[in-house]
Structure 1
Amino acid sequence: MSIIQMGEELIGHPSTAINELVKNAYDADADQCWVYTQYDKDPNRNFLIIKDNGLGMNAEILFGDWLRPSRSSKRDENQEKRKSIIYNRRYLGSKGIGRLAAMALGRYLTVISKQSKENSYNWIRIDREDFRVESLLDTIDFPGGKIKNYLELFNDEEILDASNLKANGNLINLLSNKPFSSFKEGTTIIIQDLDNSIRSLIEEEFNVKDIEQTAIFKSLRDLITPLQLNSKIQEDLLKSKIIEEELKIDNGTGTFELFYGINFIKNQIKGEVDFLPIEPSSILDHFDYRVFGKAFEDGSVNAKYLCRRFSKDEYEKLFNISSEFNLSNEESAVREIEGLSDLEIDSDTGVGEFYFDIRIYDLDSDAKDKMVEILKANGRREATTTFSKYLGLKISKNGFGVKPYGEEEHDWMGLGAKRVQKHIVTIGPNQIIGNIFLYSPQNDGLKEKTNREGFYESKEFINFKKIIAGILEETGRERAKYRLKHNLGRKTKNTLDRPDTEKFIQYILGHSKDEELISKTKQFVIETNDALDNMEGSLSFSQRLASLGTGLELVYHELSQPLSVLGGVKSSLEININKVEDNILKSTLLKRTQNMGGAIDLLEELKKSLQPAIGKSIPKIFKPAETFKKVCHLFEKVFEESSIILEIKNSSLNFEIKNYEYLFWVSFLNILNNAVYWLQFSEKERRVIIFEIDSDEIIISNTGPKIPEDDLDIIFEYGVTSKKEKNATGLGLSFTRNMLAPNGWQIWAENRVYGPAFHIKKIAS
């Protein structure tokens, strides 16, 4: 079972597993590596191939160290020996579990490997299910050996029967053609009966026309882009005299090309699967601002800043950032976000020297129009969606990307939270495509987790983030000055000035004596002024909503530190109270600390309830019932005071959707707000709010007064309200519909026997 745990459980995402196998190809001195995924509705016909033309493994290695978990020939205390044989590449792996990444991808693993001097292929086939037994490893037999024609492993009935496999025509055809048919040396890994995790990943993108927008392609591009940019950034640093000599990650004689193919994207002329080279996106060349440079061991930085926002006003400048600024409390927000604000930081960063290259893109309307042209998109919305797939501040080590930074963990620097506090100078996470280049042994103080999902939260990593935060803040200040100079992000001062209607009436009076014309003009001006008054009121309300949203985000992030402090104070009090000998005093003090604990728990629940309202930029899978409960928590006091009962149907508890959770949080909030208001006018004995899922429809109903039949079709229109309050705006339900519709959801209302019901349902595609 340890094999299962290391393989399946230590690898958090299918793309991480694939990346690990690609890294092994790089470590084996491969010049080229191919990744191919085959999707079929029949699960038994799906497979994944990863092939390289590296040095390959002989029988001794394949049946020896390769089968021994945590054994690695790459592990050596001498840094100079931790390099590949031909190209002197710094090894990307040394823990000896990367090979087990295949366990996270599918049931059947076939490894075929050959060194150039051998006449036969070494092969082994592993059925992952053999490990799901309560027995020792030496009781399990692995089919394997040497074979002249490796295609027999997939078409010979006797060999297939031994592994409970059936012949797969698609796999055999693929292996019989280039590039797989050319196999003089290297390793080919074939995984069959793919797991649900990777099948689902492919199914979601089955209709994607652009292969570059698929998750696996993007992950591979994020993995290899730093390798291809490594020489370019050093060339720029040398030219700018920021460094004196290049820091090589190999001996400079080798290349590493990566290709990806999938069966549902084919060459329309040949009718064959195309393998696309994985290369950096051209969007990198079309930045508005760029900062690149070198960070030193003491935390100081030398950098070059380029501004290319407007062709007629381009400029560049060199700047230095002191270690005092980077490591001072001025950047303590980074530590507070991680809950490590009490961690002592000294001038010995432990990070080592590293390079960085960060490109920033403006999101003003003219910048988006330029992006439409660059990305060949159909409009700004499509351009923004495509651009978002390239975003991220990514980290690489020895030329290859380190997950999850800039990928699954999009805002690992907490820029969204900082933007609330320093809006003008903080660059948003949705504007950055950046790379940070780490190397061995300079940056080995940053320890990568065993599961390849980031670095340990150590003193070194906190210092590392503080240095990056300092770079981004200094860059943000330079950018902010330029944007103010060009009046970017600000409206023209007089845009909202109202027209002088009295002056217009006087003009009419001075040029006409037609009483009817004058009367009509005055009436029109009165109606226009009334409409403008209403619009100003609505705008004022909208500004309050926007301020509320910003306030919620600020409160959400600022609650973390005091809650942490209070929790620590409570624990400390309890320890010291137990030392009190006076039992009466001890009992009284313990009761007080229990009350404090209850208050802390209540604040924690409030914080959790606000989380969906922050509006994360990436869709995720969530349960609407759980989101509804979080919103209901905000109404607990009102429910109690108004004797309102909440019913959540059991059948709805496990229903999941993938979307932006904050859309539903705001929608539920508006619906509940209306329900609570109208239940106050209910003449029924039981005041009930009901949440249920019926045939993928989210339904929220209550026992309050029914909606007038004439209003059912218009209650979602702007400004329509029946509330008996002067400050009622009629914006809540209109705002809800306008949020849901662009994201593929519709909302409508009906009257049931006991009261009104609101339905939210996915729009049929």
Structure 2
Amino acid sequence: MEKISFNVDAYTARLIGRENVSKLNGAIIELVKNTYDADATICVLYYEKTTNSLYIADNGCGMTKDVIIKHWMTIGRSTKKDRFISKSGRIQTGAKGIGRFALDRISDTCEMFTVSVEGKLIWKVDWEDFSKSDNITDVTADLYEPTVSIDGFLDEVINYEVKNIILNNLKNTGTIFKLTSLRDSWNDNVIKKIKDDLITLIPYEMKSEFQVYFFDEQNSSEDADVLDVENAFSYDYKIKFNVLKDGKTYIEIHRNEFDFGDRFDEIITQAEFTSEDEQYFKGKYICIETNFAHMLPKRGEQFKNTIGEFSGVLYFEKVTSSKTDAEKYFYKLSNNRNNKRDIFGGIKIYRDSFRVRPYGEPKTSDYDWLLLAGRKNKSPAAPSHQTGAWRVNTDQIIGSIFISRMNITLPDQSNREGIVETKEFVLLKEFLINVIQEFEKDRQYVFRKLDARYDKIMEAARIQAEINKKAEEAKAAREDKKFLDDSSELNQKSESAKSFIDPEEAKTVLDHKDTVIKNLEDENRLLRTLATTGIVTNTYVHEIKDITHKLSRKIVMAKEALELDRNLQDGLKYVNEANVMRDSLNSWFKVTIGSVTRDKRTMKKTDLIFLISQTVKSWEETLKNVSIVLEFQGSEIQLKCFPYDIESIFSNLIANSVSSFESCFSDNKSIKIVVSDLEQEIIIKYSDSGRGLSRAYKDNPRKILEPMESDRRNEMGETIGTGMGMWIINRTVADYNGSIDLSDNMKYTSGFYATIKLIKK
């Protein structure tokens, strides 16, 4: 029996390299990564248009003859597979042994001058030999000791600054590649794109550890320094985080947006900031010590960190601001803000200090890979909004996420264009969103404090009341001319009012303003009610579809029994069953469509006992196996309200309870509602026997009042539900100057509890 060996066609080996390094920019990046892996502190790229050549030089460890023969010349073999930590302690980025084909991607021919501790060597290859030869073993390269120095190897270089920077840094060890007969047309656009890619190739925080230069025939070393990004962008907030292998998580938030100047103590006192806030405004970081599971609360108590160690830094900078807001919120003004979002914008991922594309790539769909824009669109509230949740937009945040080859659950795709979409990558995205949310909460907290201070200082209500008073005085003065002639005091009041402003005109403007505001408030109420209708319909759309389908079938069966079979008994049976289906469908319509009828859209004194009883009855007719206990403490409970507001509160509460029952294995599916009438307020105590709030909300139940907060998940672990029901309730209660107390949810392991107060008008 003859043993035969496998072989590889030379051109096939070349195609493997081309498949992995298909683009010019990718080839450049691969070679720069190799210089970093060689422990270089400097990498120089020099494009010479006159000779159509590219030089790549570094002051790394160089290559010995043994390394060149055993590793560099063996495709697929890399010194970094087993020993991936360099002598200086760097985690090396390459391991596949095909990065050298990046040289083939760039040019036809390549000449390498390398200096190691063992001496100097020159290696030369013509990549076209791979196309001419049959087998990989037929392709050869030249390897010999040079007769010239580094200075001599660079003798033809036109730009003397390139020579100087290489000679000054490659005194002991290093490598220089000279690539000739370049395959691409290196026009201005290509060069600009390469420079932009190199700027973000490594995080700017590494500038002191690794510098990259890109020269042409004319520029100086100062112009060629692609990582010189001092003051490239300033920031209003800085958020750093670090996750350890055991899950311990540390977050630091730095407020850099506000400057109270000489009025520091005054503003702190007026806005009622805490003593801790005072230190945070002076530069101290807000430190949060938690763990990975708590940062992913919707995943469950026992959730473990399967990603490994990783860290990151995020910078927030608002895009624009008005003069009024700058004065109101004491923005720290900066004159050196350079908008370079086309380069630095987006959140980028770095593996072992090198960029993982395409995350954060400008002008691509991967720029917003965390989907921050969609998140913002769903919650467009301003930072000062008292009940809405402010969300940062994608063009306001810049960041770097640092992972390593040690994060084996976040593997690179084979084409080096991103990370494989593992479950850990989904966790990483969810974790980052929750880190961003910590910053959002802090910024909104500050804005709300400053906004409340502003309103208190401005005393708008007092000014409006004074105008109204003067308007009444002027009107009374004109209607009673006799009294006006006899009373010098009133005449003085009238003159005073006229000198201030025409009071009647001012009152007309204010009344119009109040009318516009009232119309907008009514419109918002209606929209919230319609949103509730949509939430309920969406939540139970399967049940509604099922009823509709059964109703259609029964009608068809009745028709066939009466027309085809002449069977009156069966026909009547199917008609009666269809009638039951119709009643069931009508009950859903009462719960949804019935809530927006015109008679419920008028502010009026309403019998809450009747209204709430009818709402609960409609739900009872719709639900199966759910018990609703309704209790009124008082023989007559009335409130001046929009009836559909009250229905909206109860429909959202009951819909949430029913959703909770779906994941609760207990047969006890009950809801209890107690409505009490006090002298100045209506108290509604609501509770159910469902599974209760998840751990994500147990420590801070009021978080569920923010928009898009939902702990409902499908079988894939993805968040479902609109997360708007409790926000609608909170906004509605706020319209009645009321409040919601959710503190009882912190006491019990199961069940949901809410105490709602509505102030009588």
> Normalising by structure 2, what TM-score?
0.49
Structure of larger gyration radius: 2
